[in-house]
Amino acid sequence: MKILCKGEKMESKEPLAFRVRPKTLDEYVGQEHILGKDKLLYRTIKADRLSSLILFGPPGCGKTSLAKVISETTSYKFYKINAVTAGVADIKAVIEETKNFMLNPKGKAILFIDEIHRFNKLQQDALLPYVENGTIILIGATTENPYFEVNKALISRSMVVKLEPLSEDDIFKVLKLAIKKPEGLGEYNLNIEDNTLKKLSTISNGDVRTALNSLEIAALTTAMDENGVINITDEVLKNCIQDKKAVFDKNGDSHYDNISAFIKSMRGSDPDATVFYLARALNAGEDPMFLARRIVICSSEDVGMANPNALVVANSAMQAVNMVGMPEARIILAEAAIYVATSKKSNASYLAIDKALEDVRTKDTGEVPMHIRNAPVKQMESLGYHQGYLYPHDFPGHYVEQQYLPDKMVGTKYYEGVE
């Protein structure tokens, strides 16, 4: 085992996360829902019968590692490009080499494109004919929802696979392996308790790359004791990691998941979940005015006539957030969101307007009754305008029975009221 002398530094290497990537399916940790031994993707990789794949999931969940496993197990030529730096010329170069019988007798290759969502429409279109005719087996990796970011024609010709954030147990396993593997940190005399590794697994929020980077920084920056041992404690790791990572990128797909959960929690009258998802959004840098507008919408759509004051509170909160700004705006947003969450609920107004709009768009709804039409000119009354109109305030209780809907719509019910 290599022991560093005092003052000696570890030689510069590729990052730990790169060095300990799995080479086989048996070494791959996590994603059992798609890579369990009875699952289709596991069987197709093992049999080298892969079709085009779009892998999407959050950073550090194993997309590139899965591509690495495929590159080690396939008998086809394997090419890798990154959409950030590559262009159409790079795609054409891969195609030309793939079609060259001397260089590639099989006439088929696997092309892995990291961050495929960075390719524009023209670049994605350049891939389509070769994916369609089987020259290229495409593996695209993206942190964005491919249904929004990837050419629909490519999507229709690929298996879309969603990778989940790794569990704490999975990250713990990877960290233990990284400490033991010679290509990892195995040649260094590290001393770290399992409980410390588990804490690192927890704070990494499913991102194994973050966990490995933090472990490596701790190992690189911690002085050895007199016995040549690098002791990594909770305190050491605390200084080598940032605050608990934001669970989502405010511009990414998980942004929509979190906002959806925030809205559904208000609608579902759960103030605790409401505040939790609000906190996640604020922690990720979400625009406070965007959140305020969502509360205003929910106050009308989901609370509505059950508590009309909710709209007043939400609208006042939106104005206050605009004037005050962060960090104090967090308190205003929390107050308004909790008020909406704890209010009685009714979507009667929401249903009423949508039903009426559908009728207006799709039906012959008839004409406005003559007696409630406007007659700004006296002569119009001779044509029937305003004739027979009953003024409600002239009657007891300020109400009188009369027809307001067009003849063709009489009896139609839009607003069902609030229980």
Helices (H) and strands (E) in the chain, counts: 18, 7
Domains of the chain: 31-162 (3.40.50.300), 167-238 (1.10.8.60), 253-342 (1.20.272.10), 358-409 (no CATH)
Strands (E), 27-132: 53-56, 77-82, 109-114
* Phi, psi torsion values for 189, nearest 5 degrees: -90, 80
Please give the single-letter amino acid code of residue 234: D
- 278 is written with which tokens? 């609000």
Return the H-helix or E-strand segment holding 174.
helix 168-180
Cβ atoms 13, 19 nearer than 8 A: yes
DSSP result, 243-265: SSPPSS-TTSHHHHHHHHHHHHH
Structure confidence by residue, pLDDT tens digits, 251-303:
555 677 888 999 999 999 999 999 999 998 988 888 899 999 999 999 999 99
Q: Exposed (0-12), middle (13-18) or buried (19+): which is 242, by Cβ within 10 Å?
A: exposed
* Phi, psi torsion values for 185, nearest 5 degrees: -115, 15
Cβ atoms 138, 127 nearer than 8 A: yes
Structure confidence by residue, pLDDT tens digits, 86-141:
888 888 888 888 888 878 778 788 889 988 888 888 888 888 888 888 888 889 99
Helix (H, G, I), strand (E, B) or coil at 286: coil
- pLDDT of the chain along its 419 residues, tens only? 333 433 344 444 688 888 888 888 888 888 888 888 888 888 888 888 888 899 988 888 888 888 888 888 888 888 888 888 888 888 888 888 888 887 877 878 888 998 888 888 888 888 888 888 888 888 999 888 888 888 888 888 888 888 888 888 999 999 999 998 888 888 888 888 888 888 888 888 788 888 898 888 888 888 788 788 888 888 888 777 755 555 555 555 567 788 899 999 999 999 999 999 999 898 888 889 999 999 999 999 999 999 999 999 999 999 999 998 888 999 999 999 999 999 999 999 999 999 999 999 998 989 989 888 887 777 787 788 888 899 999 999 999 999 999 999 999 999 987 66
Tell if the pTM clears 0.85, that is, is over it.
Answer: no
CB-side neighbour CA atoms (13 Å) of 133: 10
Cis peptide before 327 (omega within 30 of 0): yes
d(CA 52, CA 173): 30
